[in-house]
Amino acid sequence: MNEQRLLRILAVFTSMGAYLMVLMGAIVSATESGRGCGGSWPFCHGQLIPQSMPVDTVIEYSHRIISGIDGFFILLLTVWIWFRFKKDQRAKILSGMSLFFVVLQGALGALTVVFEETFSKNFALALHFGFSLITFASVVLLTVHFFQNRQGTVGKKVFPVSQRMKTAVWALSAYTYVIVYTGALVRHTDATMACGYSFPFCGGLYLPNLSSLAGIQMLHRFGAFSLWILVLLFMILVLRSYRARTDLVRASIMALILITLQAVSGVIIILTGGKLVPEMVHSTIISVFFCVLSYLCMQVGTPWGKKRPVLIPEEGITH
């Protein structure tokens, strides 16, 4: 087994671990198990193996263990790339981002343990989820990059992408990230059922006071709906102007499907009273959706870079 194949295998396992890290974080929030290990970190109740293991302790400690293991894999992957693949700038950037944000989210998670139940803690927890999402997306893109290049990096055709298109992709990704934070804030402020079972509006109110839990819930709903509209418009733009870029076409269609499923899962959360399984599905879909948008960013390049064509294979996404 050659080095490239071993690297791809490690990247796949690291991506799976990053997803589990995001999912476990969502479970911790949904089950309110954040204090399952008391006020100690990184161990649980000051012990490597706690004497008492209630459900909330098991959930919180499992999250820490999974995060620690995947953090080690990310470190190993980053060191491997920076020492053995020094000329692969994209791999170095993505692995560096993965390591930076997994460390940052771990540090932020440790800080939230000592906070009281205040808005500052809720905001920090929302940031924690956002950073874990960037970590997951970075590792997934790194894995995609390795599989794209398994037969070489030279494309067969040149498909130019306009600066306006690049800006649209990056702006959509940035806006998605903002909406993700509003969703995380809904979860961490216990605003999930702030409007009861009422949907799409909050009882008889269209826009409650934003300082209230109902206002936070409605802010997220309006943001999510506007995001669905933007993704639809983006897909139409790609289909009209970039049919030759099969990678962009497939990714834009997938993005619309995912954001639609995300909206459906959000409605199910409300109708079921905030049950755990719909919450897990909701977190999974938004994680994959953000990865798709990040993939689009990788494929089109940065809008602030030089205007140059992107080389990709005829088949689009993979070789």
Tens digit of pLDDT for each residue in 207-227?
Answer: 777 778 888 899 999 999 999
The answer to whether residues 172 and 303 touch, using CB atoms and an 8 Å cutoff, is no
315: annotated active-site residue: no
Q: Which are the contacts of 28, defined by CB distance < 8 A and separation ≥ 6? A: 34, 36, 59, 60, 63
Tokens of 23: 């999912």
User: How much is the mean pLDDT over the chain?
Assistant: 85
pTM reported for the whole predicted model: 0.87
pLDDT at 21 over 60: yes
Lowest mean pLDDT among 47-56, 106-115, 214-223: 106-115
Question: What are the contacts of 38-45 at 24+ separation with CB within 8 A?
Answer: 39/113, 39/114, 40/113, 41/109, 41/110, 41/113, 41/114, 42/68, 42/110
For residue 71, CA distances in Å to 21, 275, 294 come to 10, 29, 21
Tens digit of pLDDT for each residue in 155-168?
Answer: 444 577 889 999 99
- Higher-confidence position of 46 and 62: 62
Peptide bond into 42 cis (omega under 30): yes
Q: Which are the contacts of 49, defined by CB distance < 8 A and separation ≥ 6? A: none
The answer to whether residues 142 and 11 touch, using CB atoms and an 8 Å cutoff, is yes
Helix, strand and coil in the chain, % to nearest 5: 70, 5, 25
The answer to whether residues 261 and 121 touch, using CB atoms and an 8 Å cutoff, is no
Q: How far apart are CA 96 and CA 139, in angstroms?
A: 10
Which pLDDT band holds residue 172 (cuts at 50, 70, 90)? very high
- Higher-confidence position of 233 and 161: 233
**Residue in this structure with the two tokens 């954001």, named with its chain if needed:** 259
DSSP 153: S
Tokens of 214: 């109902």
Q: How far apart are CA 67 and CA 69, in angstroms?
A: 6
pLDDT at 274 over 60: yes
**What per-residue confidence (pLDDT) applies to 309?**
47
CA angle 295, 298, 303 (to 5 degrees): 130
- State the catalytic residue, choosing from 3, 32, 60, 279: 60
Query: Quick check: helix, strand or coil at residue 150?
Result: strand
Which pLDDT band holds residue 141 (cuts at 50, 70, 90)? very high
Domain boundaries, the chain: 1-153, 154-319
DSSP 276: H
Helix and strand numbers, DSSP H then E, in the chain: 8, 2
- The residue type found at 272 is T
Count of other CB atoms within 10 angstroms of residue 169:
28
